[in-house]
Amino acid sequence: MTAELTSAKKEDLEVLAEELGVEVPEGTSRVPLQKLLLEHDPEFVNARICFIVDERIEMEKEQSRREFELEKLRITTSQSSGSVKTKIELRHLINKFEERDNDISLYLQLFERQAKWAQIDKKDWVCHLLALLPYDITQLIARERTDKAEDYEHVKSLLLKKFKLSPEKFRQKFVKHQRRIESNWTDFAYELENYFREWITGLGVHTFEQLIGLMATDQIKRRVPADIQDHFIDEWSNIISANELCKKLDAYEEVRGKSVLRKKDQHGKRTESGLKTKTTSEMKAESGDKWRSQGLSQSIHRRMDRAEDVLERRRKPQCYECGSFQHLRPQCPKLKKKTEEPLARVNHVGGVKENEFLLPFTSTGLVNGVKMPILRDTGASIDIISRKYITPEMLTGEHVWVQQPLDVAPICLPLAEIELSCDKGHIITKAAVVREELDQGRYLLGNRTACLFEDKSNMVCHLNAVQTRRQRQLKEQSKTPEPEAQLEIVHDEKSD
């Protein structure tokens, strides 16, 4: 493949293929297209591709020169008319405004900076701004008169009045704002500073003394009960002076009564609203006057008094299981007897003991020198052994995830090196180690170790069965002649 053909663009190769009548499937890449063209005369292909490349380069230069001349003529014409129109579009520099939880004032400030940088006339700012706003906001601007809709200052004031966040909203965003995962700490600091600046600007805080009063007022507001906040709900967010807030709170307490706010209920706790809750005895006294005014008998009053006294009397705790006052339900002996009953087993085979049922699949062997039964488990991929039969030196440092049939999630178990001797042979393998509480007195032999035993038993012994002609002659001479039927034919053994 020549250098001219290799450096050519795909569009040049397609033009050459069209001239040569080569059918190019749709979606063919550049390298397969080069191989199709090499099937023709290489010299002709190289000469033709050079001509096509030169022709394309010349056309591109001519087109660039024409565009330069047109742009030069357009700028000259616009300068003569007193206005220069830019080719830069702000929609390529700024993202579209999203109405949800975004500050329109910050967005307009960024828009003005980009418009000044792009040298766009201010009378054209509204046209560029409409392309960056959602459809429902553009409808709001379209309702205005034509002269006002083209005035950027009027459109800006309209948007700020409609969508600008309140100072209370900026305060909440300043307090609760969290850093996004995709942003860095510099952006987070800038966002916090902007929220704080908009908060104090919206409240008219311009001096350091006013800022101190705002911080003190915010701390006082955090400690005012909710019912008092509801009383000043209309002007709560606009109060920025600590003295003004304290005067309003003191006046509210004087009207309502300071003693009411500081009273406590009969348990020594003050309610959220500061009011004392009525006890049953007080309610009884109030209702007693009502019953007496209706002329009821004294026996009814005595029965009501006894019933209310019993209701107010502290109830002694007792057991919900047996009714005893000596213990509670968790310590009830009846409940313990119920829990000590044997639990029902799932998929338990009755009629035969478990050991007798597993006896055909169990053999006796030595596991790390300890004699114990070995159970062949065809459903397990790896061996299982209790921690009591190994030492810390036997742990390999590896782990394995074991999935039980009735468990939702797998568990991680360490692996230990096991020396196993049984009727199948002697082998060193690995087994998963479980806690001593789960020991059943047997070793579970999994499929992996069983395959190792089978591979060891199927090993083939390679013998040298090649016999030279001299050896065969000496062997025939040493033998006496025998009937032909009794001759033994020796075949070469082949390994599996």
Chain segment 317-352, per-residue pLDDT in tens: 888 788 888 888 888 887 755 544 555 555 555 555
Q: What is the mean pLDDT of residues 285-303?
A: 53
Residue 402 lies inside a defined structural domain of this protein: yes
Based on the fold, state whether residues 130 and 106 are members of the same structural domain.
Answer: yes
- pLDDT tens by residue, 80-97: 554 444 456 666 677 777
Written as one string, the DSSP assignment of 127-140 is HHHHTTS-HHHHHH
Based on the fold, state whether residues 440 and 397 are members of the same structural domain.
Answer: yes
Residue 289 lies inside a defined structural domain of this protein: no
Q: What is the mean pLDDT of residues 156-174?
A: 79
Range in 11-20, 256-265, 403-412, 479-488 the model is least confident about: 479-488
Range in 67-71, 94-98, 143-147, 169-173 the model is least confident about: 94-98
- Residue 365: pLDDT above 50? yes
* More reliable by pLDDT, 282 or 331: 331
Based on the fold, state whether residues 370 and 449 are members of the same structural domain.
Answer: yes
Among the candidates 257, 284, 299, a domain finishes at 257
For the chain, the domain total comes to 4
Based on the fold, state whether residues 240 and 206 are members of the same structural domain.
Answer: yes
Based on the fold, state whether residues 28 and 104 are members of the same structural domain.
Answer: no
**Alpha helices, DSSP H only, in 340-440?**
354-358
- Residue 296: pLDDT above 60? no
Among the candidates 132, 164, 196, a domain finishes at 164
- Residue 268: pLDDT above 70? no
Task: Note the pLDDT of residue 179.
Answer: 81
Nearest CA-CA partner of 126 in 113, 110, 138: 138
Residue 112 lies inside a defined structural domain of this protein: yes
Based on the fold, state whether residues 383 and 436 are members of the same structural domain.
Answer: yes
Based on the fold, state whether residues 111 and 44 are members of the same structural domain.
Answer: no
| pLDDT > 90: percent of the chain | 1
The b/e string for 209-239 (b: 16+ C-beta within 10 A; e otherwise) is eeeebbebbeeeeeeeeeebeeebeeebbeb
The pTM assigned to this predicted structure is 0.31
Based on the fold, state whether residues 121 and 172 are members of the same structural domain.
Answer: no
Based on the fold, state whether residues 221 and 252 are members of the same structural domain.
Answer: yes
Task: Note the pLDDT of residue 293.
Answer: 47
Residue 278 lies inside a defined structural domain of this protein: no
Nearest CA-CA partner of 475 in 488, 462, 485: 488
Per-residue pLDDT band at 301 (split at 50, 70, 90): low
Q: What is the mean pLDDT of residues 215-232?
A: 85
Tokens representing residue 164 in the block:
């600008």
Residue 322 lies inside a defined structural domain of this protein: no
Residue 323 lies inside a defined structural domain of this protein: no
- Residue 190: pLDDT above 70? yes
Based on the fold, state whether residues 360 and 451 are members of the same structural domain.
Answer: yes
Task: Note the pLDDT of residue 337.
Answer: 54
Q: Write the CATH number for 413.
A: 2.40.70.10
- Residue 181: pLDDT above 70? yes
Which of 21-30, 185-194, 277-286 is most confident? 185-194
Residue 464 lies inside a defined structural domain of this protein: no
> Which amino acid, residue 362?
T
- Residue 480: pLDDT above 70? no
Q: What is the mean pLDDT of residues 93-102?
A: 71
Task: Note the pLDDT of residue 152.
Answer: 87
Residue 394 lies inside a defined structural domain of this protein: yes
| Helix pair 30-37, 10-20: axis angle to 10 deg | 30
Among the candidates 201, 222, 257, a domain finishes at 257
Based on the fold, state whether residues 172 and 159 are members of the same structural domain.
Answer: no
Collapsing DSSP to helix, strand or coil, 351 comes out as coil
Please tell me the total number of residues recorded for the chain in this structure: 496
Range in 170-174, 316-320, 455-459 the model is least confident about: 455-459
Q: Write the CATH number for 193.
A: 1.10.4020
Kindly list the distances between the CA atom of residue 390 and the CA atoms of 233, 384, 434, 462, in Å, as whole numbers in the listed order.
Answer: 73, 12, 11, 38
Based on the fold, state whether residues 114 and 159 are members of the same structural domain.
Answer: yes
Kindly list the distances between the CA atom of residue 46 and the CA atoms of 39, 109, 421, in Å, as whole numbers in the listed order.
Answer: 12, 59, 77
- Residue 58: pLDDT above 50? yes
Range of the domain at 49: 3-80
